[in-house]
Amino acid sequence: MRIQSTPIVLPTTALPQRPRLAVTLGDPAGIGPEVVLKALAEPRLTSTCEVTVVGSQRLLRQAYLQLKRQQSLGDREAEPLADPEQLLILDLLLNQATESQITVGAGNAASGAASFAYLETAIARTLAGEFDGIVTAPIAKSAWKAAGHEYPGQTELLAERSETQRFGMLFVARSPHSNWTLRTLLATTHIPLRQVPDVLTPELMTAKLELLAACLQQDFGLSTPRIAIAGLNPHSGEQGQLGREEQEWLIPWLEQARCQWPQLQLEGPVPPDTLWVKPGQAWYGAAGADSSAHDAYLALYHDQGLIPVKLLAFDRAINTTIGLPFVRTSPDHGTAFDIAGRGVANANSMKAAVQLAAELAGRRMKSFPST
């Protein structure tokens, strides 16, 4: 597939007052274009950052017109949409054969190739200094694979292209009930459950804790963060009766970590079934819960961390990749091909992703101004 990039002219003056964000369209056959248009219609978001949409202008325009038609036929109040004519777009031109194969609601090799190219371009331009961060709309891993790109997801491509060896998936969500912020890092991500005990090692935990501590201090301004670390087994092993991992290495590792990082307040291993009680209370604004909840939670495997995150904040959680040389955030949902083009996609997570990226990039700009 031939993809041609239309250049954009960016300022060459001193450090911009607002962070510059690249927002990718994700899979054009999914809800990515819709949630991008809905998010960028929010003046409170676009006033805090300079946004460039990375994708195909023609496809974005088609999505806009389709959504406007849906709104005209609906019987509910129409949600505002950004007009593509008013957006700064880094237009990646698809050849006609490829574009003709992209059908809204059906991810395939063509849509996978397009979404891969959007992210590739955003990464390259960010590494070149044109952007301070990237916000990625969702892609379909199956579509990437059909297009010949063998990556578990966008996170791994971001790490590869930025030559980042240590990185992590941190999920962030701000409660609409209490304004308390939930932060959850996964020690392991997309691997079979039966492999988790073998992949988890003291070395891996050290690497993840280092990433988490640096992120909390640099990006969130927490100098002495409180971090809860999950146990692996029910009741954290019940002193070896329900599993030996805690006794054999997790507890000794945690004791050593407390000595190594005295500025961190580490609690654990907390039994997984009680780990999320305080966050749940803090999320819904129970009296005093926000002060007893932790600043961050280190979960040991995918579902241990993401079931509670999605239960509390399915339409608000944000995936931010920590360890990269730039900010990257993404809504914590998929392409939702089944509702693509119908105008009913919830854009709250995309809005939150743009807002968080602007906040984090802005904080980094203040902490590390260019010389």
What predicted TM-score, i.e. pTM, was given to this entire model?
0.89
- Rounded distance between C-alpha atoms, residue 167 and residue 170, angstroms: 10
Biggest CA-to-CA distance, the chain: 64
Q: What is the DSSP string of 280-292?
A: HHHHTT-TTHHHH
- Rounded distance between C-alpha atoms, residue 246 and residue 110, angstroms: 47
CB count in 10 Å sphere of residue 227: 23
The residue among 83, 92, 84, 20 whose CA lies nearest residue 54 is: 92
The answer, yes or no, to whether the previous bond of 325 is cis (omega within 30 of 0) is: no
The residue among 90, 86, 118, 87 whose CA lies nearest residue 102 is: 118
SS3 assignment, position 230: strand
pLDDT at 367: 77
pLDDT at 368: 67
Question: What strand order describes the sheet that includes 327-331?
Answer: 3-5, 88-94, 50-55, 20-24, 133-136, 327-331, 318-322, 168-174, 181-186, 296-299, 226-230, 265-270
Q: Using DSSP bridges, classify how beta strands 133-136 and 168-174 pair: parallel, antiparallel or unpaired.
A: unpaired
CA angle 76, 31, 150 (to 5 degrees): 170
pLDDT at 125: 98
DSSP annotation of 138: -
Q: Using DSSP bridges, classify how beta strands 181-186 and 296-299 pair: parallel, antiparallel or unpaired.
A: parallel
pLDDT at 17: 80
SS3 assignment, position 168: strand
CB count in 10 Å sphere of residue 163: 8
- Which residues of the chain carry a pLDDT beneath 50? 1-4, 6-15, 371
Tokens at 364, concatenated: 């980094």
| Bridge partners of residue 22, in order along the sequence | 52, 134
The residue among 165, 182, 161 whose CA lies nearest residue 173 is: 182
Spatial contact of 143 and 153, defined as CB atoms under 8 Å apart: no
pLDDT at 41: 97
Tokens at 201, concatenated: 């090692």
pLDDT at 75: 62
